Structure 1
Amino acid sequence: MSDSDVDLPESIELAWGLRERPGKGPKRSLTLGQVLAAGIKVAEADGLAAVSMSRVASELGVATMSLYRYVPAKLDLLELMADAAYGAPPEPRRPDEGWRPALARWAAGNIEAIRRHPWIRHVPVGGPPMGPNGVRWLEHGLAALRGTGLRADERVSTVLLVSGYARNWATLTADLAEAAARAGQSPEELGVRYWQQLERLTRGGSYPGIRQLFTEEIVEDTEEFDAEWRFGLDRLLDGIEVLVQARSAA
């Protein structure tokens, strides 16, 4: 199959520098990078819900219809904004680095990217990564699994599993942080209040599992959310390691 047989969305071709401008029609007065930067500026200031083609056009001082020369629809704009804001992935796996610490470092990078730009979590996932940064993240995730003996489909599934966990955790902690801010509390204070409320609610019912929690000592951690993130990640990596060992034995 030749390159001409592979259909790519125009916005993706622009993002990758594969299309400069159409052969006919007026010359573009902006770059796709400028359009995305304006959209990101709006999202950072007023949230993703404030991003619209007209608002971004206003930021750039151009007519709304002119933006459609760069992105065919708002969803394309949001996806490319998220790709640009996500930024470059962490450095790829080093020659002296094992697959497990490399994949853990890659996973943590996903968390950090969403924490830098919390609005990213609200952008609908329209499909596999196609933007320049998204493809680089995929490449570095796969590179972490180099030499593990996992099959191609297993390596892809592993990257999907770990990135999905990271996105879910980043979304959960960001949502809780925003809820705490609305209540005028810190996430830790909100957590303490929750356990106090839960203790009261379950006093008179049949909740043996929950009630047992209140009889046991729970190790306090000043960075509880991050400790729970690491606990879950380690369990994922434990399971992946079992599969890696099985492939090595085979």
Structure 2
Amino acid sequence: MTDADEQGSAAVRLLWGPPARPARGPKRGLTLEGIAEAGVALADAEGLAGVSMQGVAGRLSVTKMALYRYVPGKAELVALMVESAMPDPSVLDERSAGEDWRERLGVWARALLAGFRAHPWLLEATVGARVMGPGEVGWMEHALDALDGCGLTGSEAIDSVVLLSGHVRGIAEQERATGGTVGEGPDAQLTSALGEVMRVHGERYPALRAALGSVAEQGGQDQALDFGLERILDGLGLLIAGRRAG
């Protein structure tokens, strides 16, 4: 078994198995929930790069070796942190009960963005091949359930969820890169970044100058999430309508 396989098995046991007990030695009163919460607090304060076993142990007032008795390494620690920080998918059922597939996916996308805004380090922690916990899998289940009965193949339904999550991640990444400003869309940010260039060289780029001028007149409202989300859902709607007609 490779190191990656061993890490995956350890993460599966921590996320999906019964409550962990210390690997050896007397019980110190730690819980996986408490460890995850300490990691989340550290990541919120210092980013994912600032998270270490030593740092989490310090927040819990235990030694690093005591922490290792519960969590074998940083990869498993981050997996626990993701599970702790992701919003409970059950809130989606409360917000979208009785709605159609389009409205349910809209609720899903906006709630996902709220999660990334609350914990921006989740953007780094939820990429690549890794083990996902019940909460994160529950998010995928909710989106796929919204598309159930729409006539899409399994592959198309999963690709639809990936497309939606990619749009949400893109908005969250841009907000994070510009200091986490919420309420100022990419269009307003572009206007600010290109303001001087357009004043001096705007005649060379008349279409861009006109578009940015319109944004400035409208106050640079944050429309990027909704505009992209509605266009994605429009496309899915056409596909679903075609399948149902067929």
Calculate the TM-score normalised by the size of structure 1: 0.80
Q: State the alpha-carbon separation in 2 of the partners of residues 222 and 208 from structure 1.
A: 20
Unaligned runs of 5+ in 2: 1-6
Percent identical: 35
Question: Aligned-pair distance for 1:217?
Answer: 3.8
Contact 1:11 1:70 in 2 (8 A): no
RMSD of the TM alignment (CA)? 3.0
Q: State the alpha-carbon separation in 2 of the partners of residues 212 and 223 from structure 1.
A: 14
Q: State whether structure 2 residue 230 is matched by structure 1 residue 234.
A: yes
Q: State whether structure 2 residue 41 is matched by structure 1 residue 44.
A: no
Instruction: Tell me the residue number matched to 1:91.
Output: 92
- Comparing 158-167 with 38-47, which one deviates more in the overlay? 38-47
Q: Which amino acid aligns with 1:242?
A: L
CA offsets 1:115-140 (integer angstroms, 9 cap, x no match): 11223223251336621210111111
CA offsets 1:76-107 (integer angstroms, 9 cap, x no match): 32232122111212323856311000001001
Instruction: Tell me the residue number matched to 1:243.
Output: 239
Instruction: Tell me the residue number matched to 1:3.
Output: none
Structure 1 residue ranges, 4+ long, deviating more than 6 angstroms after superposition: none
Q: State whether structure 2 residue 202 is matched by structure 1 residue 200.
A: no
CA offsets 1:169-210 (integer angstroms, 9 cap, x no match): 1121232234x79xxxx9588655324223135346x43432
Aligned pair count reads 235
Q: Which amino acid aligns with 2:92?
A: E
Equivalent residue in structure 1 for 2:171, among 169, 172, 184: 169
Contact 1:176 1:187 in 2 (8 A): no
With over 3 angstroms needed to count, the CA separation of the structure-2 counterparts of 1:221 and 1:82, relative to structure 1, is farther
Contact 1:16 1:132 in 2 (8 A): yes
Calculate the TM-score normalised by the size of structure 2: 0.81
Corresponding residue SS for 2:84: helix
With over 3 angstroms needed to count, the CA separation of the structure-2 counterparts of 1:95 and 1:112, relative to structure 1, is closer
Question: Aligned-pair distance for 1:146?
Answer: 2.0
Q: State whether structure 2 residue 159 is matched by structure 1 residue 157.
A: yes
Q: State the alpha-carbon separation in 2 of the partners of residues 88 and 249 from structure 1.
A: 36
The aligned runs of 1:124-135 (5 Å cut-off) are 125-127=127-129, 130-135=132-137
Unaligned runs of 5+ in 1: 1-6
Q: State the alpha-carbon separation in 2 of the partners of residues 217 and 208 from structure 1.
A: 12
Q: State the alpha-carbon separation in 2 of the partners of residues 166 and 209 from structure 1.
A: 27
CA offsets 1:50-99 (integer angstroms, 9 cap, x no match): 21111111111222133233333213322321221112123238563110
Instruction: Tell me the residue number matched to 2:221.
Output: 224
Corresponding residue SS for 1:160: helix
The aligned runs of 1:73-88 (5 Å cut-off) are 73-88=73-88
Q: State the alpha-carbon separation in 2 of the partners of residues 129 and 96 from structure 1.
A: 32
Contact 1:202 1:211 in 2 (8 A): no
- Comparing 41-50 with 108-117, which one deviates more in the overlay? 41-50
Counting helix residues as a fraction of each chain, which structure ranks higher?
2
Q: Which amino acid aligns with 2:98?
A: D
Instruction: Tell me the residue number matched to 1:210.
Output: 208
Contact 2:8 2:131 in 1 (8 A): no
With over 3 angstroms needed to count, the CA separation of the structure-2 counterparts of 1:237 and 1:49, relative to structure 1, is same
